Structure 1
Amino acid sequence: MDTEKFLTEFQDYLAPKLDVYEQAIYLYLVRHSRLIGKDETTVGFKSARKQLAFGIGKAGTPPSEGVCYEKVKSLNGKGYIKVLGTEHSGTRIHPYLPHEINGLIQAEKQEALQTLEEMDFFEVPENRELILEREGNKCFYCLTALNTNNYVIEHVLSRPQGDNSYRNVVASCRQCNNRKGSSDAQDYCRTLYRAGFITSTEFEERLSHLERLRNGDLKPELTAANKSPKRDTALPR
């Protein structure tokens, strides 16, 4: 079991679909089965509930045995675990890892992609920083090092023809933003090359990146806080 992969997928895809009781029980089941190389575990919640998460229940007590079995039934119904049967020592359960759950990660990625296409990466401050991160904290054009204090978001195709999508905005230094103006991005990169600001290799890379940008290949990486379009925090036009 790849523990890092599991924790990432659990936090990003599965945990948001579970309440705190379900999260505690699911992690307990994984801890006592998949994490140690077993496919299943047998649990008696009369005693195990005290090890789940102290303070999760009412008034700082562990969840009741009844609540534990209710949440196991819920997890089983959602397809996140499989109850294999019961025996004298408890309930036999096989927990599925996030990537084994049908449709979980694929559906979440599709939802994130749809959200990405709707997002405004020029007006919304949180989204602007994602473009800076995508560019590796460098000016898209001249490759000068940037930080959150000295960058601007530049339209590759100037408005009103261009939009504020991730396909049409890049992080830029202020000098390139001013010099480029509304000129064609390829022509501006050629100007930088002829003036000696970038090498021939860097010039070819800039042209390739512009093509990938137009094709939607340079997607910014969304965080949980950025997965919903924000309209109420926009900067004034």
Structure 2
Amino acid sequence: MGRKVLVLNADYSALSICTVPKAFALVYLDKAELVSDSQKGYLRTIDTTYPLPSVIRLHRYVSLPFKGVMLSRQNVFRRDGNKCVYCGSHEDLTLDHLTPKSKGGKTNWDNLVTACRRCNSKKGDLSPEEAKLSLSRKPYKPSFIMFLRDFAGSIEENWVPFLGIKERT
């Protein structure tokens, strides 16, 4: 049961993504309500059938002072589509500092990119321009909603209104 469920705060803002068993438990224990169910199946017990949750809303508002995307190796890889920003390879990926740390480069979203080991070695302690490498995309810090929308894997159609995505055609 690898399906994901969108969790909304009490004000219908996107809060997180959880597993189906966790979402079902929240609804069953009356800590959340089912906003939308998936048409792709049901949860069955010996004598009862329940709708498969797709979007749930918590009854109590959860205050999150910081809703950012944590800077981690895997999150940088996700942002860059799991491919080298220089050559597009999917093999042997590493992190690369655009401005090398030895030249004062910081470890942050705007200075880290995904690079294959070959391109990273070619670039070495140089800037991409000095190494004659061009970026396929400029690095950026993803917002929380953007991260949920773009990097959470496949999303269900009934998540669209809550993630600020224009209707799909």
TM-score, structure 1 as length reference: 0.38
* Bigger proportion of residues as helix: 1
TM-score, structure 2 as length reference: 0.49
**Greater C-alpha radius of gyration:** 1
